[in-house]
Structure 1
Amino acid sequence: MNFKNTLLALAAASVFGITANQINVQRVVADGVPYVTAGQSGLPAMDVVDIASYQGNLSVDDFNKMKAAGIKGVIVKLTESTDYTNPYARTQVDNARAAGMKVSAYHFARFHDENGARAEADYFANVAYSLGFSSSDLMVDDVEDNTLIKDNVSNNARVFNDQLHARGFSDTALYTYSTYNMDRSFMSNDHIWMASYPYEPSSDHLWNTQYGMWQWTSNAHVNGVSGTFDMSVDYTGLASRDSGYRYVPEAGGWRWVEDGKMFTGFKYYMGTYYWFENGVRSDKAWHEAWGHMYYTGADGRAVQGVQNINGQNFDFGSDGTFYMRSSGYLYDGSSQNGGYRWYENGQLYTGFRYYMGTYYWFVDGVRQNAGWREAWGMKYYTDDNGRAVQGTQKIDGTYYYFGDDGTYYERGGYLFDGSSQNGGYRWYENGQLFTGFRYYMGTYYWFVDGVRQNAGWREAWGMKYYTDQDGRAVQGIQTINGQTYNFGNDGTYYLR
């Protein structure tokens, strides 16, 4: 940056033989900064390089050599004042992106009042957008011109920063040097890029660790690349962490990257949430996150309010939460059940739900077809179409009765099963052929393996009974095979 052509505040404990807390500040010309080479041992890290027009048309190969030397981020000077744009900016930006580096931008400040600060921020923003920078990219205000100090530089820098935010850039930073006379409190320390050049830079004596980045040299060389460069340690990943919405040449376009990896999930960007699948923005699709369902529209943005999707209306609220409130049998594009699932207040539902004239059973929103279900203390059966059945049903070779009154639960009982015995009826109990007495149509009947037994003696509950030719347990005085018996008249039916 231009800072390297000004007088710099340099400290060197090794020269003066004093502790870090006793460092004397000296002023020397930048040309006295030691010449260093990327990859040289014992130096502070070279995480980020910043470049301007004097580096010219750096090639993709140049940036690849920087990347191979361990440099992760590139900060390109785009603009100065309201009338200068770096003539090499597009080439530098495009080639750095093509090399797969994180690319940020800076503006050299010349403003002397609030209007000038806003105008310069707008100029910077316009050029940045024209070069493909997104709202999540780092945008830096380079404040080092001493002529700005007398005109309330602190306030003007704050206005510049606010205007960048108003233009949609959420990640902004301030570049300056430690002795520059301004109030930096409007910017958090982790977004301050501090410049100061030691006489003897060393990885054992790092400076400005309380800030996001430290520019520690303006006299660095990268093997195989012409010229010298400013280099910085990036303590917080401000300009070197491989995250955000950026161009990834090897992936063939713009992708969301998180810590160097293609990201899957929601990310807040440009005022709403976007869903990314392996880094690719997902449009016109349903998504599950945080226990809710969301939908991203044709522009990739998570929708709000009432939306008509594939002919159905859904309510996504209007309070900035974006999740679906709707309930019912909804199309979500899933691979199961033809893309439909049952949602309850936006949650995938498990259990019975009444739909199209009967009950259906859902597990994690997916309709279940043929199978037994338990609910409300009863047993039910859903058929091949997922509908809860009624009446007499033959299931796996056994007959069951589910009533005919819209309750659908399995009762067992005297069911028609098409057998040759007893007119095709048999008694089932929990789906099993029953042996014993069962009360039916005003009296007791005796069944053996489900078949009603007619005339004959029976034993049950420690007593003896007799069923007549119609299978009914008899009462009163009865003559059986020429002998008289008393079976009572109190509805107990047993032999006295």
Structure 2
Amino acid sequence: MPGTAPSFHLGSLHTVRRAALALAASALLLGGAAVPASASAAPKAFHPERDFAGSTVAAHEGRHGTPALQPLVAQTLGNDVSSWQGSVNWSSAAANGARFAYVKATEGTGYTNPSFGQQYNGSYNAGLIRGAYHFALPDNSSGATQANYFVNHGGGWSADGKTLPPALDIEYNPYGATCYGLSQSSMVSWIRDFSNTVHSRTGRYPVIYTTTNWWSSCTGNNGSFGGTNPLWIARYSSSVGTLPAGWSYQTIWQYADSGTLPGDQNLFNGAYDRVQALAKG
């Protein structure tokens, strides 16, 4: 994925403002006041096509070299993609060593990845173990609401040995305040609400994608998820570094936002049979 997001043109912003003014005028002409935006409305200048696992990480935490691996266990190469990549050549990705992939399915409650079908099914058909992830907007609607939207639009799981658990991408807010205006306790409650709803719908607790810095700032480094939710940690450096509280090891490490594979580069912390074991539940 690109290291920096494309610029947002002023023309697009003017279009959004004109549409908002037109809506307000229409409401007044009908004899009523304009209805304020609901809590589940999309953020201003909504750009879900620019949001993906790690889209905010480099800007906040930088890049600090490539992995210098001396792992205690074997590592398995994989990648994650979103609409940024469009139609992915999965045969080529497999030939270059990819063994698993995560695909963005949804964001908030108003966006589905238009390339999801090609990416999710294409990776499966190329022999990769695949999974779907949701880009969270915790100030947009409740955890349960977003979890249901995610599961209803591709975020499921089946015990076929080829499908990874659903994943929650919770990272720096691309639309404003780092922690989405939530207190640390409210953020923990939101994540738990999402996690429990996914579990009740699919039988699997979601993988949690985050960074140690964001988790520390926005959850108070809460340690209560390590016993149920696998960790997908993002850190673009030579080592995985300190992990969030509650996890003694990462399941997946997103170590770079570009490389030989389409999208972001990931290492599963184990040999391929461990990837299969996670997929089987």
2:259 aligned counterpart, secondary structure: strand
Paired residue for 1:179, among 199, 205, 213? 213
Q: Are the structure 2 counterparts of residues 206 and 121 from structure 1 closer, same or farther at C-alpha, using a change threshold of 3 Å?
A: closer
* Counterpart residue identity of residue 185, structure 1: G
CA shift for structure 1 position 170: 1.2
C-alpha separation in 2, matches of 1:137 and 1:46: 14
The reply on whether 1:231 has 2:256 as its aligned counterpart is no
Q: Name 1:86's counterpart in structure 2.
A: 113
- Residue 231 of structure 2 corresponds to residue 192 of structure 1: yes
Say which structure, 1 or 2, has more relative contact order (CA 8 Å, 6+ apart): 2
- Aligned with residue 97 of structure 1, among 112, 124, 138: 124
**Counterpart of 1:127?**
153
* Conservation of the 8 A alpha-carbon contact between 2:53 and 2:209: no
Deviations 1:252-288 (A, max 9, x none): xxxxxx7xxxxxxxxxx8xxxxxxxxxxxxxxxxxxx
* Distance in structure 2 (CA, Å) of the matches to 1:232 and 1:211: 11
Report the CA distance between 1:92 and its aligned residue: 0.6
2:234 and 2:255 in contact (8 A); partners too: yes
- Does 1:63 pair with 2:93? no
1: distance between equivalents of 2:76 and 2:181?
30
Give SS of 2:133's match. Answer: strand
Structure 1 or 2, whichever has the larger Rg, is 1
Residue 213 of structure 1 aligns with which residue?
Answer: 252
The structural deviation recorded for 1:48 is 1.9
SS of the counterpart of 1:150?
A: coil
Q: Normalized against structure 2, the TM-score is what?
A: 0.63
Q: 1:169 to 1:124 in 2, by over 3 A?
A: farther
Q: How many residues align?
A: 207
1:231 is paired with a residue whose SS is strand
Query: Which amino acid in 2 is paired with 1:213?
Result: I
Unaligned runs of 5+ in 2: 1-51
Residue equivalent to 1:110: 137
Q: Distance in 1 between matches of 2:64 and 2:240?
A: 16
Q: 1:192 touches 1:212 (CA, 8 Å); kept in 2?
A: yes
Residues 368-390 of structure 1 show CA distances to partners (whole Å, capped at 9, x for unaligned) of xxxxxxxxxxxxxxxxxxxxxxx
**Partner deviation per Cα, 1:336-395 (whole Å, 9 max, x = no partner):** xxxxxxxxxxxxxxxxxxxxxxxxxxxxxxxxxxxxxxxxxxxxxxxxxxxxxxxxxxxx
Conserved? CA contact 2:57–2:234, under 8 Å: no
Post-superposition Cα deviations, 1:17-73, rounded to whole Å, max 9, x if no partner, equal xxxxxxxxxx43xxx566x8xxx9979856220100000011xxx222222222210
Does residue 139 in structure 1 map to residue 171 in structure 2? no
CA distance in 2, matches of 1:55, 1:237: 27
| 4+ residue segments displaced more than 6 Å | 40-44, 237-240
Say yes or no: does 1:155 pair with 2:189.
yes
**1:100 Cα deviation (Å)?**
1.0
Tell me the TM-score normalised to structure 1 length. Answer: 0.37
Residue 195 of structure 1, CA deviation:
0.7
**Residues 212/184 of structure 1: CA separation in 2 closer, same or farther (3 Å cut):** farther
* Distance in 1 separating the partners of 2:206 and 2:267: 18
Pairing of 1:233-272 with structure 2 (within 5 A): 233-236=267-270, 241-243=275-277
**CA-atom RMSD, angstroms?**
3.3
Shift of 1:150: 2.5
Deviation at 1:134, TM superposition (A): 2.2
Q: 1:52 aligns with which of 82, 88, 91?
A: 82
**Structure (1 or 2) with the greater strand fraction:** 1
Pair 149,102 (structure 1): closer, same or farther in 2 beyond 3 Å:
farther
Distance in 2 (CA, whole Å) between partners of 1:55 and 1:76 is: 10
**Higher helix proportion, which one?**
2
The 3 A distance-change label for structure 1 pair 206 and 170 is closer
Superposition deviation, residue 155 in structure 1:
1.3
Q: For 2:167 and 2:179, locate their aligned partners in 1 and report how far apart those are by CA, in whole Å.
A: 19
CA distance in 1 between partners of 2:133 and 2:197 (Å) = 15
* 1:174 Cα deviation after fit: 0.6
Residue ranges of structure 1 left out of the alignment (5+ in a row): 10-26, 223-227, 246-257, 259-268, 270-496
Provide the rounded CA distance (Å) in 1 between the counterparts of 2:224 and 2:100. Answer: 25
* Offset at residue 172 of structure 1 (A): 1.6
